[in-house]
Structure 1
Amino acid sequence: MIVRAKTPARSLLATVLTGSVLATLSFSALAQEREAPPLRLVQEIPLPGVQGRLDHFTIDPKRKRVIFSGLGNDSVQVVDAFAGRQIRQIDGLSQPQGSLYVPETDTLYVANSADGNLNIYNGTSFALIKRINFGPGSDPDNLRYDAAAKRVYLGYGEGAIAAIDATTNERVGTDFKFKGHPEGFQLEKNGPRIFVNIADEKLIAVIDRKTGKMSEWKLPPGHAANFPMVLDEARRRVIIGTRKPSRVTVYNMDTGAVVASLPSTGDMDDIFYDGDRQRIYVAGGEGFVSVFQQIDADHYKDMGKFASALGARTGVWYVSRDRLYLAAPPAGGLGARILVFEPQTD
């Protein structure tokens, strides 16, 4: 007769419990892995001596430099993105807002809101080449570049966008006119249109830069303070942010119809589109970055809000480095710095 040893009840219970715990731990680890945040802070670059508000960014891709306006201390800051350090400060500006680097001419353009000047610098030496004045109270702001036409576009005043020939640095053509100061605007790369946020009028102006013809898209009822904008040309979408209420709203680029609108981080001033991941990043001055996943052209998933820093509402999506750079002004005992985020993919 073969006698089989019985497993003690306590030992059997321990085995079951151990397996259950391991299964729970495995499931928990898997869940955590799946729920990993879409952005991870990977670097902080200190900005010694920089004070006050920090404004719009541009990139020098050849030298791997991130350049932005230090509106609060009348400067332009130049950061080596590869080395992760501040390498230059251009002083003597007058509340600079927009900044734009043009690689073809190795030229840096900086719009000064206080004195109405567009300062033009050599991109290597940062020597001042020229100033173009737009008049007192003109509040020059955002800058964009049309590489095909070699034209720089500047939004200013109570409703105008001017064109500057990037090869001669002379104003060309007739300014596009409309009602209300232009906030964030974008140039269509595969077409002739300019899309302009006009917060004062609660609308988006759509301008044909070849013919000058203009149409208007209204904001959804109850929406106001539309400042940032980005384009998703591949899916024919215009993406804007409003501060009142804090939302991201998506328009059909061809019809002007609203296809989606979602709550977002507050006090936003920049919005970015990650074409590789089909994600939207919104920089909010309340101290968070909102992330949205594009399911398809008309549907978007809110992936959450993730901590940045108080006042960090401007930055740049650096495509070739696959990083999001945000400017954090001095706050809470911490000095000014650049926050560098790396996107995470499940």
Structure 2
Amino acid sequence: MAVAALIAVAVVVLAWQRPTPTVALPLRPAGEISLPGDSSRFDYASLDADRGLLFIAHLGASQVIEVDVHANRVVRVIDGVDQVHGVLVVPQQHRVYATATAANQLVILDEDTGARLGQAPTSDYPDGLAYDPQHHTIWTTNETGGSETVIDADNGHIRGTVDLASEAGNVAYDPATARMLVDVQTRDVLAVIDPATLTITRRLPLPGCDHNHGLTLDPAHRMAFVACDGNATLLTIDLNRWKVLGTQRVGDDPDVLAYDPSAGRLYVAAESGRLTTLDQHDRRLTVAGRAHLADGAHVVAIDPTTHRSYYPVPHGTTGQPALLSFDSTR
């Protein structure tokens, strides 16, 4: 009986490890913009859709690159943001926030001029960012520090720290509950934090997930999407009942997630360069496309007004750094 059970488990594991079939992506090329600098690693990107300004973290060059996606040109390059990982534009503040990981700092930039307005200390290895509009704070995920540093979006003062007691993944603001959601990636748990008291109010276990890092929300339909980079799995979480609604296979080492709310489409970009697009209907996801997009295409940003998606990559068609853009075909 025990042998039969072990064989059954082995069959399930082997089936799960088989390469997922390619499904043509519902995208068509819309353009390519040459980016300055060398072909070192890019990280997060953040779009001010109204102004058409895309801010890209060029980690390997310690630069934030600002691109006007309406005019298809690079506006400016902001130097000196040491090993920049996270970048977040907050149009209400007319500011851009970036994590200088090598310096363990949050850097505050003027969206209009690129001027450096200030910085604030964080814990170890600051990575992803989120904005809490109710309390006007920036939440900085300290990956190896295992915490969130909460920083005043106006003056850069530290409001407090939340200890997660484990390595931290990405963070997101839930407007329906005015709570922060954080991946606790070495425990495969989604933590819910009350930003008023800076206390953890819930820890949701994520069965079937190995190392939950990526995170984005569909607030209107009360869902969270969690990418597990240890086993190339996407989990859909019901934020009403706090349970897993479903799982999907995605590209190896999924990293950045982006959701287009008006189209109901989720984009999961992976370190492997494989992109998965999934469509949401009746709070369920179905795979719309799954294929290799480009080497190094682990970052995606979406314009919810045009449904155009953007991917900074180390090597474009000319072999130089480039910003690839794609339009949806359906």
TM range (shorter): 0.7 to 0.9
Q: Which has the larger radius of gyration?
A: 1
Counterpart of 2:46 in structure 1 is 58
**Residue 219, structure 1, aligned to residue 211, structure 2:** no
Residue aligning to 1:271:
257
The match for 2:20 is: none
Match of 1:140 in 2: 126
Q: Check 1:68–1:86 CA distance in 2 against 1; reply closer, same or farther (3 A cut).
A: same
1:166-315 alignment runs, 5 A limit: 166-172=153-159, 174-211=160-197, 212-221=199-208, 223-297=209-283, 299-315=284-300
**In 2, are the aligned partners of 1:192 and 1:210 still within 8 Å (CA)?**
no
In the alignment, which residue of structure 1 is the partner of 2:311? Answer: 326
Distance 2:231 2:210 in 1: 7
Compute the TM-score of the two structures, normalised by the length of structure 2: 0.87
Match of 1:118 in 2: 106
Inter-partner Cα distance in structure 1 for 2:44 and 2:126: 12
Aligned residues: 306
| Cα distance in 2, alignment partners of residues 306 and 40 from structure 1 | 13
Q: Is 1:102 equivalent to 2:87 in the alignment?
A: no
| 2:96 alignment partner AA | L
Local SS of the residue matching 2:186: helix
Identical positions, percent: 25
Give the letter for the 1:341 counterpart: F
Contact 1:96 1:110 in 2 (8 A): yes
Structure with larger RCO (C-alpha < 8 A, sep 6+): 2
Please give the secondary structure, in 2, of the residue aligned with 1:311. Answer: coil
1:243-297: CA deviation from partner (whole Å, max 9, x where unpaired):
2221211011123211100111122211122222222111122222111122311
How far 1:226 sits from its partner (Å)? Answer: 1.4
Aligned residue type for 1:255: R
TM-score calculated relative to the size of structure 1: 0.83
CA distance in 1, matches of 2:216, 2:278: 14
Structure 2 spans left out of the alignment, 5+ residues: 1-22
Aligned letter for 1:272? A
Root-mean-square deviation (CA, aligned residues, Å) is 2.0
Give the 5 Å matches for 1:72-87: 72-87=60-75
* Structure 1 residue 327, shift from structure 2 partner: 1.4
Q: Does 1:131 align with 2:116?
A: no
Q: 1:145 to 1:205 in 2, by over 3 A?
A: same
SS at match of 1:183: strand
3-state SS of 1:319 partner: coil
Give the residue type in structure 2 aligned to 1:294: Q
> Could you tell me which residue of structure 2 aligns to residue 159 of structure 1?
146
